Amino acid sequence: MVGQWPLTASALDGPICVKSQADDWPIHRLVRYQTLQIDYAEQTVNVETQDGTIPSTVGDYFQLLAKGGGLDTYLKGWTVSNNLTDFARLPLPAVFQNWFDDLPHGSRPDWNWIFVGPKGSKSALHIDVMCSSAWNLLVSGRKKWLFQSPALAADAGLLQDSLVESSGNEARIQYAHIQEPGDVVIVPGGWAHAVENLDLTVSLTGNWVNSSNAQLVEAELALQGSGPWRQVMASLRARHQIGFKI
């Protein structure tokens, strides 16, 4: 589980935690000097609560947390590319290359987010969109992760049985991991995962599709009957295999 930057990040490999390899990423500086809550204080965000999603501003939400409030809240879905120009170009390792970044700006999914949550906030066990893979850089606090392999995810009804073979991993594996500040957790497509914040946390996360998970993503899109995205994937696969860029 713990290691250096992997050459691939497939479901066959399983989740990986890369220790303290991202301390110089821009978000560390911005969080350290409270740039998020100062420069983006007036930005409107949606905060999840036990009763649903409510609108807030970044400044108001950070003030609430600083006063010890918001214990049943979680700031998710704060997209980077649309809202945070400081993070437009992150120095991501090649393993995180996202084929969708080759698409025209208006057509590509916005798959980079900042999460902010108090101690006790959590995300339920789930599979990421399109069975894409994900990375999560923890800037502050600690997170507890629970991982389930694709076969276990299928047993739980979170993944179609037919996708287990496409994932390349048919083992039934479950384990937990504590993520520390500066660690990057990599979750391959098809792996179910749940997260609990053990402290007040700020993290940056992103999803990607490339050669490491293209087969699984295409199988998922086929089950969904998503014709347009299947055509996009076929085009991207062909262009990357023969060395061209869109």
The pair of structure tokens assigned to 85 is 């120009």
Strand-pair category, 2-3 with 16-18: parallel
Residue 235 pLDDT > 50: yes
pLDDT tens across 156-203, in order? 999 999 999 988 888 899 999 999 998 999 999 999 999 999 999 999
pLDDT tens across 25-81, in order? 766 666 665 777 888 899 899 999 988 999 999 999 999 998 888 888 999 888 877
CATH code, 21-241: 2.60.120.650
Other Cβ atoms closer than 10 A to 191:
27
Which residue has better confidence, 28 or 238?
A: 238
| Residue 170, CA atoms < 13 Å, CB-side half-sphere | 4
The pair of structure tokens assigned to 79 is 């997209």
Residue 126 pLDDT > 60: yes
Residue 1 pLDDT > 80: no
For the ranges 26-30, 110-114, 204-208, 238-242, the lowest mean pLDDT is seen at 26-30
- Helix H, strand E, coil C: the string for 207-223 is EECCCCCHHHHHHHHHH
Residue 25: name the closest of 109, 138, 180 by CA.
Answer: 138
pTM for this model (two decimals): 0.89
φ, ψ of residue 232 to 5 degrees: the values are -60, -45
- pLDDT at position 60: 94
pLDDT tens across 211-229, in order? 989 999 999 999 988 889 9
- pLDDT at position 110: 86
- pLDDT at position 246: 45
- pLDDT at position 33: 58
- Helix H, strand E, coil C: the string for 100-138 is HHHCCHHHCCCCEEEEEECCCCEEEEECCHHHCEEEEEE
| Residue 58, CA atoms < 13 Å, CB-side half-sphere | 20
C-beta separation of 233 from 214 below 8 A = yes
Strand-pair category, 112-117 with 74-79: antiparallel
